[in-house]
């Protein structure tokens, strides 16, 4: 079967990488971007430039959106003539909240379009490479219909019918990523405030990140402890870790480095200890972090 025609709307680094990979896989690709020059290289590589958003979505049965957020989708598609989206399939791979994804699925459905939500879990240069993967959620038959094309972008991980799930997983993974990046920069600021070059510090700090599973156990074992509410305090207790969290906060304050991140971490430990979890494992922090039943 010939590769299906696909439209890509939004040509930031991610959209350009996806359109390029689809072209290389033999798909006829139509592109549109608010800033037209960002399509130039793709057009040279064989993509068709749509004259506007309406031409873009009617050029292919499937339109992939790669935008900064969901409001950008409404800016682009909200003004289309009535009926332009009817019978079309949309896959939105832009970042936003699960609630925004659910609202968008309804919005698309009201206009006769089918809607799949996605979250790409690798940086743009990794698109189409081994290890690239993305989460999807929405109607299963819609996912199945486009899975062969979506696999060009990366391995597909389908999470279920709820259109909010893909962005929930995306945001939760990015929570880990962005917090770790801020921690890396904060820690670097601590050592550079003492006159130590960043290059003396960062290689070991990167090793700390990759060494975390060896120190705390793999995902399955941590998940089992959290699900069972089992926090035996035989190794790294909340009290011991909380003392260190307070030392990091004090060191930050004494060196004039921003205190917000270590203050938030110290607050988790402080509240867990105040709630009686001091002698339990550090995973007991979960008891103060997680959502309370309403
Ligand atoms: N880049 C990555 O490594 C990466 C990795 C994983 C996931 N993602 C996600 O993928 C999505 C795209 O990433 P990106 O790096 O390509 O983002 P980007 O550089 O911010 O590009 C965003 C695209 O959105 C368009 N846009 C934004 N607001 C708009 C509006 N109001 N109306 C019309 N167009 C609008 C921009 O058009 P203009 O060109 O005209 O500004 C551009 O094409 C994001 O949601 C991001 O979170 C990115």
Task: Dump the DSSP string for 76-134.
Answer: HHTTSPTTTTTT-EEEE-----HHHHHHHHHHHHHTT-EEEEEEE-S-GGGTTSTT-EE
Are 92 and 70 in contact by the 8 Å Cβ rule? The answer is yes
How much distance in Å is there from the Cα of 13 to the middle of ligand 1? 7
CA of 83 to the centre of ligand 1 (A): 26
- Is the CB of 12 inside a 6 Å radius of any atom of ligand 1? yes
The percent of the chain in helix, strand and coil, each rounded to the nearest 5, is 55, 10, 30
3-state SS assignment for residue 191 = helix
pLDDT bracket for residue 235 (50, 70, 90): confident
Q: Which residue has the least CA distance to atom 11 on ligand 1?
A: 94
pLDDT attached to residue 233: 81
pLDDT digits (tens, 9 = 90+) for 182-212: 999 999 999 999 999 999 999 999 999 999 9
Domains, the chain, with CATH or none: 6-162 (3.40.50.720), 168-289 (1.10.1040.10)
Probe target for ligand 1 pocket from 31, 32, 34, 78, with the most ligand atoms within 8 Å of CB: 34
How many angstroms is it from 42 CA to the middle of ligand 1?
A: 16
Ligand 1 center from residue 237 Cα (angstroms): 42
- Residue 294: which pLDDT band, with cuts at 50, 70 and 90? low
Q: Is 94 in the pocket of ligand 1 (CB under 6 A)?
A: yes
Q: Is 108 exposed, middle or buried (0-12, 13-18, 19+ CB in 10 A)?
A: buried
Per-residue pLDDT at 1 exceeds 90 = no
Task: With H, G, I as helix, E, B as strand and everything else as coil, classify residue 130.
Answer: coil
Q: For atom 32 of ligand 1, which residue has the closest CA?
A: 72
Taking the centre of ligand 1 as the mean of its atom positions, its distance from the CA of residue 234, in whole angstroms, is 47
Beta strands in the chain (DSSP E): 6-9, 29-32, 48-49, 62-65, 89-92, 114-120, 133-137, 155-158
Average pLDDT value over all residues in the chain:
96
pLDDT over 90 at 8, yes or no: yes
Q: How far is the CA of 147 from the centre of ligand 1 (A)?
A: 22
Query: Is 14's C-beta closer than 6 angstroms to any atom of ligand 1?
Result: yes
Dump pLDDT digits (tens) for 112-169.
999 999 999 999 999 999 999 999 999 999 999 999 999 999 999 999 999 999 999 9
| Nearest CA residue ID for atom 37, ligand 1 | 34
This prediction has a pTM of 0.93
Q: Closest Cα partner for 85 from 49, 60, 117? A: 60
**What's the N-to-C CA distance of the chain in angstroms?**
51
The ligand 1 atom at the shortest distance from the C-alpha of residue 34 is 40
Tokens of 139: 């109607």
Strand bridging mode 114-120 / 29-32: unpaired
For a ligand 1 pocket test, name from 9, 36, 38, 66 the mutation site with the most ligand atoms within 8 angstroms of its C-beta.
66
Quote the CA–CA distance of 195 and 208 in Å, as a whole number: 22
């Amino acid at each position: 079967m010939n590769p299906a025609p696909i439209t890509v709307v939004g040509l930031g680094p991610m959209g350009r990488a996806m359109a390029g990979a689809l072209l290389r896989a033999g798909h006829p690709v139509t592109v549109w971007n608010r800033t037209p020059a960002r399509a130039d290289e793709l057009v040279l590589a064989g993509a068709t430039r749509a004259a506007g958003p309406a031409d873009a979505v009617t050029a292919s049965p499937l339109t992939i959106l790669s935008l900064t957020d969901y409001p950008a989708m409404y800016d682009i598609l909200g003004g289309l003539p009535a009926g332009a989206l009817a019978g079309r399939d949309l896959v939105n791979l832009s970042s936003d909240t699960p609630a925004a994804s659910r609202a968008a699925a309804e919005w698309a459905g009201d206009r006769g379009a089918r809607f799949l939500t996605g979250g790409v879990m690798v940086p743009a240069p990794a698109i189409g490479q081994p290890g690239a993967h993305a989460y999807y959620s929405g109607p299963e038959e819609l996912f199945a219909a486009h899975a062969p094309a979506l696999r060009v972008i990366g391995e597909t991980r389908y999470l279920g019918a709820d259109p909010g799930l893909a962005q929930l997983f995306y945001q939760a993974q990015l929570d880990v990523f962005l917090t770790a990046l801020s921690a890396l920069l904060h820690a670097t600021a601590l050592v550079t405030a003492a006159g130590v070059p960043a290059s003396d510090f960062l290689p070991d700090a990167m090793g700390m990140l990759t060494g975390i599973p060896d120190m705390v156990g793999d995902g399955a074992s941590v998940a089992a402890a959290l699900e069972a509410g089992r926090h035996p305090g035989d190794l790294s207790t909340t009290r011991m870790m909380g003392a260190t969290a307070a030392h990091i906060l004090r060191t930050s304050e004494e060196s004039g480095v921003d205190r917000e991140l270590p203050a938030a971490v110290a607050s988790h430990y402080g509240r867990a200890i105040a709630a009686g979890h001091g002698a339990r494992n550090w995973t007991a922090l979960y008891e103060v972090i997680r959502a309370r039943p309403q």
